[in-house]
A = this chain, B = another copy of it.
């Protein structure tokens, strides 16, 4: 079983080569096709034959490179994972260096979201498919290899830690709840189902990430501020509407 990491050829030059797709090999053709199909129909909705047909290669090649369907799926997720991870971590580094002690919620949320959304907006179709695939696996963790989580979980902890600087009083539980709300919104934004197009009668387009990014950052930051600023110790309140006294003390 060939290790995926061992297959990447070393870069002769620094920086991003302008067009690496001069002559894509079969392996990358398969990955591209799989990325496109898995991202729209999920693991079980796609057959290897469809993937290889879209890639215009023989079916057996997929098994040659990836052994199993699950191996192919893992390889698709892993192909861009490290690059995304590094970019997002760098965004946090940059932001923390520039903000110093004056960390804002908007800044933290922006550092978390912007690298993703910018790549999803400006990247090629492969990147767009990749991010949609991320949103697929976020709701269906069934087929995601544990190793892939190492590229995503640390970013969540980093976000929570930076947020804690901006909101020293906030309970950690509230911060994680807010993260879940945030990532749910992000997931739906990246999945681009087109539902919002229909609902809004064409006012909004689900792939208009340029419209989504500023709104999403403001939206989440404001929500975090509100939830985390509210003392959550004892809220007996009146049991009228949705004011359930949660008693979730820290």
A residues apposed to B, CB below 8 Å = 40-45, 95, 98, 104, 106-107, 109-111, 113-114, 135-136, 138-142, 153, 156-157, 172-174, 176-189, 191, 193-196, 198-200, 203-204, 206, 210-227, 230, 235, 241-244, 246, 248
- Which residues of chain B are near A199, meaning CB under 8 Å? 153, 156-157, 176, 179
B244 and A214 within 8 A (CB): yes
Dominant SS among interface residues on chain A: helix
User: Closest residue to A117 on the B side, CB-wise?
Assistant: B242
User: Closest residue to A107 on the B side, CB-wise?
Assistant: B243
Assuming A45-B44, A246-B211, is B181 touching A219 (CB within 8 A)? yes
User: Closest residue to A178 on the B side, CB-wise?
Assistant: B219
Cα–Cα distance between A109 and B242 once the two chains are bound (Å): 9
B188 and A242 within 8 A (CB): no
A248 and B227 within 8 A (CB): no
Q: How far is the CB of A232 from chain B (nearest CB, A)?
A: 8
Q: How far is the CB of A218 from chain B (nearest CB, A)?
A: 5
Cβ-neighbour of A226 out of B42, B111, B212, B218 (below 8 A): B218
A177 and B196 within 8 A (CB): yes
- Known contacts A114-B242, A217-B244; 18 further A-B pairs (Cβ under 8 A): A43-B45, A106-B246, A111-B242, A135-B139, A138-B188, A139-B187, A156-B199, A177-B212, A179-B199, A181-B220, A182-B185, A187-B187, A211-B248, A213-B244, A218-B223, A222-B248, A223-B223, A225-B248
User: Closest residue to A182 on the B side, CB-wise?
Assistant: B185
Cα–Cα distance between A113 and B181 once the two chains are bound (Å): 14
Q: How far is the CB of A39 from chain B (nearest CB, A)?
A: 11
Cα–Cα distance between A180 and B213 once the two chains are bound (Å): 13
User: Closest residue to A46 on the B side, CB-wise?
Assistant: B44
Cβ-neighbour of A184 out of B44, B185, B225, B227 (below 8 A): B185
